C-alpha cells in the first residue's frame, strides 16, 4: 500500500460550548498544520454528522472544492472505513490529499437520547422498540450477557476494561477523566446498573469532541513535516440492523474485517504492538479483540482482569483512555486513528508504548453492526 | 389489560407504530393471539421480522406459518433506566430463540421474570394493546 497518514489532531474535547462546524474547522486546520499542509492542498474529504449533506457543508465551510468525498454513515466505525476508501482514491489518482474529519457537540447541545432515534418506517420500530430496549446499550448488554454466560466469566471481567481505560486516561492530559483518579473494579461494579450486566461505569462518556487525519501518497509524505505513518491494511464488514437478526450475537463482523486488513498488510495479530479498539461499552473491545485474533475466544476478559491491556501490560489497549475515560463524541472512530498515529510517531509522553511499530485501529458502529479495521505502521 | 401491565414489558399504549402492507397479516394475527412467522414458499425457511425477500434463498414469494410459541432465552438484559419516562423499570428485554427457528426480540414477564437467564425455556403469552393488537411476550416455563 502506498498511502500514509501525515497529519492528525483533535478538536477541542469535553464540554466545549462550540458548534459542530467550529469544531470541524478546528480539527481540520489543526491536522493540516500538523502535516505542514494548507486547505489549498486538500482535494478529498470524508466526514459525516454535520447535516444531511455533510461533505457539502464542510467543503463549503472550509472553501474546498474536493474531487472526491465520502459521507458513509454506519456508526462510529465510519472513519476506519474512510481510510480504506481514501487509500483507494489516492492510489487511483482521484485525490492527492484527503482529510478525514469528525466533530460533535452532543454534550453541549444535550442531543443524546438513551432510546436512540425512532424511524417508524423501519422494522425495529414495529418489532423491537415496543419492548423498551435502550439503543444501542441494551444490545451490547445482551451481547455481554451471552459472553459472560458462554465463557463462565463475571461482571468483574467487564469492569477490568474500564479500570484499564482509566489508568491510561490518567496519563493523557487531553482525557476527560485525566485527574479523576484511579477507578477500581469494585467502583465499576457498584455503579448503577443501566441495562444488566452493564452499569454506568461500563458505558462510554458522552462528550463533545472529534478530530481529523490527513492522508497522501507515501512518496509525498516523505517531504512533509511529520514522520509518515503508513497504511498497511484495511478491511470492513457490514451486518444486521435489528437486535434479533444475528443468529449468534457474539459472532460479529470484526472477524472478517480484521482478517481482510491483516491479509492486505501481510501481517498477523502477533505483529501488533498497540491496539486502539472501539470501547463504546466494556464488552465491545473484548469481542473485537477476540475476533481480530488478538486474544483467544473467551480470553480477552481474563486478560483484562490480569491487567494485560493496562499501562505496563503486554497488550496495551486504548492508550488515550478510550471512549470510556478519554472522549466519546457520539462517533469515536476518528480518535482511534489519531491515537494510533501518535503512538507510532512516539509522541505520547507518559503513555507511550515503547518501540511501537505496528498499530491496529478497529471501529465498531451501530449495534455491533459495522466493523472496520485499519493497520498502521512506521515508515521504513 | 391494565396500563401498568403494559408498562411491565416496556410498552406503552399508543406507542407501537401502525402496521404497513407487509406486516398487516402479522399484526392481524396478534389480535387472535397467534404468532406468525414468515415462511418462504420456495425454500421453506422461516424468518422474523417480516421482509420483502427470503434472506436464505432470495425468493420474493413469502407466506405465513404459525409459531408454536416455545423457545429458549438466547440473550437477556434487565433495563433499569428506561429510554422513555413513561416506562416503568426494571423490565426484561431478551432474545428468544424459537423452537421453530427464528430469533425474536421480546420481553420476559410473570413470575421470576427478573431472574430470567440464558438457556431458560420460555413460552408465549400476550400483552394486549388498546387498539386490539397485541404484543407477543414470554413467560418462564416451570421446571
Ligand atoms: Zn427462501
Please identify which of the residues A82, A176, A234, A278 carries the catalytic annotation. A278
Q: Which one of A126, A146, A198 has the shortest CB-CB distance to B75? A: A146
Catalytic annotation present for A326: yes
**Chain B: nearest CA to A154, how far in angstroms?**
14
Q: Give the distance from CA B6 to its chain's centroid.
A: 14
Q: Are B19 and A196 inside 8 Å of each other by CB?
A: no
Write out B55-98 in H/E/C secondary structure.
CCCCCCCEEEEECCCEEEEEEEEEECCCCCCCCCCCEEEEEEEE
Interface test with A, best of B79, B91, B134 (most A CBs within 10 A): B79
Looking at the predicted structure, is the pLDDT value of residue B3 above 80? no
Looking at the predicted structure, is the pLDDT value of residue B33 above 60? yes
- Find all residues with CB under 8 Å of A187, minimum gap 6, and list them: A201
Domain regions of chain A by residue span: 3-110+205-378
* Centre of ligand 1 from the C-alpha of residue B21, in Å: 20
| CA nearest to A195, candidates B21, B134, B19, B91 | B91
Q: Which one of B75, B79, B107 has the shortest CB-CB distance to A145? A: B75
β-sheet bridge partners, residue B103: B97
> Which residues numbered 296-335 in A keep a CB inside 8 Å of some CB on B?
none
A249 and chain B: CB distance < 8 Å anywhere?
Answer: yes
Q: Are A132 and B79 inside 8 Å of each other by CB?
A: yes
Region class of A93: left (phi > 0), else alpha (psi between -120 and 50), else beta = left
Cα A104 from Cα A60, distance rounded (Å) = 18
Q: Give the distance from CA B27 to its chain's centroid.
A: 11
* Tens of pLDDT, residues B61-120: 999 999 999 999 999 999 999 998 878 899 999 999 999 999 999 999 999 999 999 999
pLDDT for res A236: 98
Q: Are A133 and B77 inside 8 Å of each other by CB?
A: yes
pLDDT for res A240: 96
pLDDT for res A307: 98
What mean pLDDT comes out for the span A211-232? 97
User: Phi and psi for A277 in degrees, rounded to 5?
Assistant: -125, 125
Question: Could you tell me whether strands A98-104 and A44-46 are parallel, antiparallel, or unpaired per DSSP bridges?
Answer: parallel
Region class of A209: left (phi > 0), else alpha (psi between -120 and 50), else beta = left
Coil, helix or strand at residue A323 = helix
What mean pLDDT comes out for the span A99-113? 91
pLDDT for res B2: 43
Half-sphere exposure of B51 (CA within 13 A, CB side): 18
* Tens of pLDDT, residues A283-330: 999 999 999 999 999 999 999 999 999 999 999 999 999 999 999 999
Cβ proximity of A46 and A214 under 8 Å: no
Catalytic annotation present for A147: no
Looking at the predicted structure, is the pLDDT value of residue B4 above 70? no
* Buried residues in A225-237 as b, exposed as e (16+ CB within 10 A): ebbbbbbbbbbbb
> Which residues numbered 115-134 in A keep a CB inside 8 Å of some CB on B?
115-116, 120-121, 123, 125-134
Split at pLDDT 50, 70, 90, the class of A151 is very high
Looking at the predicted structure, is the pLDDT value of residue B14 above 60? no
User: Phi and psi for A249 in degrees, rounded to 5?
Assistant: -65, -20
Domain regions of chain B by residue span: 3-12+19-140
Mean pLDDT of chain A: 97
From chain B, the residues in CB contact with A246 under 8 A are 103
Looking at the predicted structure, is the pLDDT value of residue A117 above 90? no
Q: Are B48 and A127 inside 8 Å of each other by CB?
A: yes
Looking at the predicted structure, is the pLDDT value of residue A49 above 50? yes
Q: Locate cell 422498540: which residue?
A: A129
pLDDT for res A114: 77
Half-sphere exposure of A164 (CA within 13 A, CB side): 33
The percentage of residues in chain A with a pLDDT greater than 70, rounded to a whole number, is 100
Determine how many CB atoms are found less than 10 A away from the CB of residue B129: 21
Please identify which of the residues A82, A140, A176, A326 carries the catalytic annotation. A326
Q: Which one of A120, A197, A245 has the shortest CB-CB distance to B17? A: A120
From chain B, the residues in CB contact with A132 under 8 A are 9-11, 79, 82-84, 87, 91, 93, 107
Looking at the predicted structure, is the pLDDT value of residue A109 above 80? yes
Q: Where are the alpha helices (DSSP H) in chain A?
A: 20-35, 54-62, 78-92, 106-109, 123-127, 137-151, 155-169, 185-190, 218-221, 254-265, 283-292, 300-306, 322-325, 333-345
* Centre of ligand 1 from the C-alpha of residue B49, in Å: 14
| Homologous superfamily (CATH) for A3-110+205-378 | Thiolase/Chalcone synthase (3.40.47.10)
pLDDT for res B8: 59
| CA nearest to B92, candidates B139, B57, B128, B51 | B139
pLDDT for res B6: 58
| CA nearest to A308, candidates A175, A154, A157 | A157
* Centre of ligand 1 from the C-alpha of residue A121, in Å: 24
From chain A, the residues in CB contact with B101 under 8 A are none
What mean pLDDT comes out for the span B19-30? 97
Eight-class DSSP state of B42: T
Mean pLDDT of chain B: 92
Determine how many CB atoms are found less than 10 A away from the CB of residue B3: 11
β-sheet bridge partners, residue A195: A198, B79
Q: Are A132 and B75 inside 8 Å of each other by CB?
A: no
Q: What angle do CA B53, B55, B56 make, to 5 degrees?
A: 125
Looking at the predicted structure, is the pLDDT value of residue B133 above 70? yes
Amino acid at each position: 500500500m502506498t498511502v500514509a497518514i501525515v497529519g492528525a489532531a483533535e478538536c477541542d474535547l469535553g464540554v466545549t460550548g462550540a458548534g459542530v462546524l467550529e469544531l470541524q474547522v478546528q480539527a481540520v486546520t489543526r491536522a493540516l498544520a500538523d502535516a505542514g499542509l494548507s486547505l489549498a492542498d486538500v482535494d478529498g474529504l470524508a466526514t459525516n454528522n454535520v447535516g444531511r449533506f455533510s461533505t457539502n457543508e464542510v467543503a463549503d465551510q472550509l472553501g474546498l472544492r474536493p474531487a472526491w468525498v465520502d459521507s458513509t454513515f454506519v456508526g462510529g466505525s465510519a472513519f476506519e472505513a474512510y481510510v480504506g476508501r481514501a487509500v483507494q482514491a489516492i492510489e487511483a489518482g482521484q485525490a492527492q490529499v484527503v482529510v478525514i474529519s469528525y466533530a460533535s457537540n452532543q454534550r453541549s447541545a444535550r442531543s443524546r437520547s438513551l432510546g436512540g432515534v425512532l424511524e417508524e418506517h423501519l422494522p425495529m420500530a414495529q418489532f423491537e422498540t415496543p419492548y423498551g430496549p435502550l439503543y444501542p446499550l441494551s444490545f451490547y448488554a445482551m451481547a455481554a450477557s451471552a459472553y459472560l454466560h458462554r465463557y463462565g466469566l463475571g461482571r468483574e471481567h467487564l469492569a477490568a476494561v474500564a479500570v484499564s481505560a482509566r489508568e491510561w486516561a490518567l496519563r493523557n492530559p487531553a482525557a476527560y477523566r485525566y485527574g479523576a483518579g484511579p477507578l477500581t473494579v469494585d467502583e465499576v461494579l457498584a455503579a448503577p446498573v443501566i441495562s444488566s450486566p452493564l452499569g454506568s461505569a461500563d458505558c462510554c462518556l458522552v462528550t463533545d469532541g472529534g478530530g481529523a487525519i490527513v492522508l497522501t501518497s507515501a512518496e509525498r509524505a516523505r517531504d512533509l513535516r511529520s514522520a509518515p505513518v503508513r497504511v498497511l491494511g484495511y478491511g470492513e464488514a457490514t451486518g444486521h440492523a435489528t437486535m434479533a437478526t444475528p443468529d449468534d450475537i457474539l459472532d460479529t463482523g470484526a472477524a472478517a474485517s480484521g482478517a481482510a486488513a491483516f491479509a492486505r498488510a501481510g501481517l498477523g495479530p502477533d505483529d501488533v504492538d498497540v491496539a486502539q479498539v472501539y470501547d463504546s461499552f466494556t464488552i465491545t473491545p473484548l469481542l473485537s479483540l477476540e475476533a481480530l485474533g488478538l486474544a483467544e475466544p473467551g480470553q480477552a476478559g481474563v486478560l483484562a482482569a490480569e491487567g494485560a491491556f493496562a499501562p505496563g501490560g503486554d497488550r496495551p489497549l486504548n492508550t488515550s483512555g478510550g471512549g470510556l475515560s478519554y472522549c466519546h463524541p457520539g462517533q469515536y472512530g476518528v480518535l482511534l486513528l489519531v491515537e494510533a498515529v501518535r503512538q507510532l510517531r512516539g509522541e505520547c509522553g507518559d503513555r507511550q508504548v515503547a518501540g511501537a511499530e505496528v498499530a491496529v485501529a478497529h471501529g465498531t458502529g451501530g449495534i455491533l453492526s459495522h466493523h472496520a479495521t485499519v493497520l498502521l505502521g512506521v515508515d521504513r | 389489560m391494565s396500563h401498568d401491565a403494559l408498562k411491565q414489558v416496556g410498552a406503552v399504549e399508543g406507542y407501537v407504530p401502525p402496521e404497513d402492507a407487509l406486516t398487516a397479516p402479522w399484526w392481524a394475527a396478534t389480535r387472535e393471539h397467534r404468532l406468525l412467522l414468515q415462511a418462504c414458499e420456495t425454500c421453506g425457511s422461516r424468518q422474523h421480522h417480516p421482509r420483502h425477500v427470503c434472506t436464505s434463498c432470495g425468493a420474493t414469494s413469502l407466506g405465513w406459518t404459525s409459531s408454536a410459541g416455545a423457545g429458549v432465552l438466547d440473550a437477556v438484559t434487565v433495563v433499569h433506566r428506561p429510554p422513555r419516562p413513561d416506562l416503568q423499570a426494571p423490565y426484561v428485554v431478551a432474545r428468544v430463540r424459537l423452537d421453530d427457528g427464528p430469533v425474536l426480540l421480546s420481553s420476559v414477564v410473570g413470575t421470576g421474570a427478573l431472574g430470567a437467564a440464558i438457556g431458560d425455556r420460555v413460552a408465549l403469552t400476550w400483552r394486549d394493546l388498546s387498539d386490539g393488537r397485541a404484543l407477543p411476550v414470554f413467560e418462564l416455563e416451570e421446571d
